[in-house]
Structure 1
Amino acid sequence: MPLYAYRCVAGGSAGLICADFEVQLAMGSAPSSLPCPACGAPARRRFTAPNLSRASSTAYRLIESTQRSASEPAVVRSPVPGTRPAGNMTTNPLHRKLPRPD
């Protein structure tokens, strides 16, 4: 569903902005004015540019999972059997000759 933007001008002719808010409504069902959540005065609908993107569905999934993990992080309770422990472990024998940090 699209987001519709509204702006409440509390001062009338003075032009003081009381609040800007967005409402998610079914397409084509947005009224020309809604009551302001801050003061209750009628707020007029603003016309804004549509939110279009040329990103692929893979990019959208990445963005959504990143946003979701910010509030709902995945918690791992135990390591999966047969996996290596976390850290900088290597199986290359040439890496044993490299200096190690203290």
Structure 2
Amino acid sequence: MAVYVYRCLSHGRFDSAHPIGTAPSAVPCPHCSASAARVLTSPNLSSTSAAVTAMMDAHGRSQTAPAVTTRPPEPERPSRPADPRIAKLPRP
């Protein structure tokens, strides 16, 4: 389904979903039922955010050129508790 834009002379623009290639040139307005003409607009191709686009690009690059690890990861250092009384509790 694609979303097409129509314009009613009384109520302005509104969207209507139709299967691709079957959108009529006019549809009834949802508010007043008057005939609303289809408006030709540019396709909405860039509807994803920059973060999502960067994530998809990184995923594509990892499939063709994965990063190579040259050394094992650093071991995690135990964090000190914020409250010093926690350090006095018995260990499991």
Calculate the TM-score normalised by the size of structure 1: 0.47
Q: Tell me, yes or no, if the aligned pair for 1:34 and 1:43 is still in contact at 8 Å.
A: yes
Larger gyration radius, structure 1 or structure 2: 2
Match of 2:43 in 1: 50
C-alpha distance 55-8 of structure 1, shift in aligned 2 (>3 A) = closer
Q: CA deviation at 1:38?
A: 0.8
Q: Does the residue aligned with 1:59 lie in a helix, a strand or coil?
A: helix
Q: Is residue 85 of structure 2 the alignment partner of residue 92 of structure 1?
A: no
Q: CA deviation at 1:23?
A: 0.9
C-alpha distance 54-24 of structure 1, shift in aligned 2 (>3 A) = closer
Q: Does the residue aligned with 1:45 lie in a helix, a strand or coil?
A: strand
Q: CA deviation at 1:40?
A: 0.8
- Distance between the aligned counterparts of 1:27 and 1:91, measured in 2? 57
- Distance between the aligned counterparts of 1:55 and 1:6, measured in 2? 24
C-alpha distance 23-55 of structure 1, shift in aligned 2 (>3 A) = closer
Match of 2:15 in 1: 22
Counting matched residue pairs gives 60
Q: Does the residue aligned with 2:52 lie in a helix, a strand or coil?
A: helix
**Where has structure 1 moved over 6 Å in runs of 4 or more?**
none
Q: Which runs of 5+ in 2 are unaligned?
A: 56-77, 85-92
Calculate the TM-score normalised by the size of structure 2: 0.51
Q: Does the residue aligned with 1:92 lie in a helix, a strand or coil?
A: coil
| Counterpart among 15, 19, 28 of residue 35 in structure 1 | 28
Q: Is residue 5 of structure 2 the alignment partner of residue 5 of structure 1?
A: yes
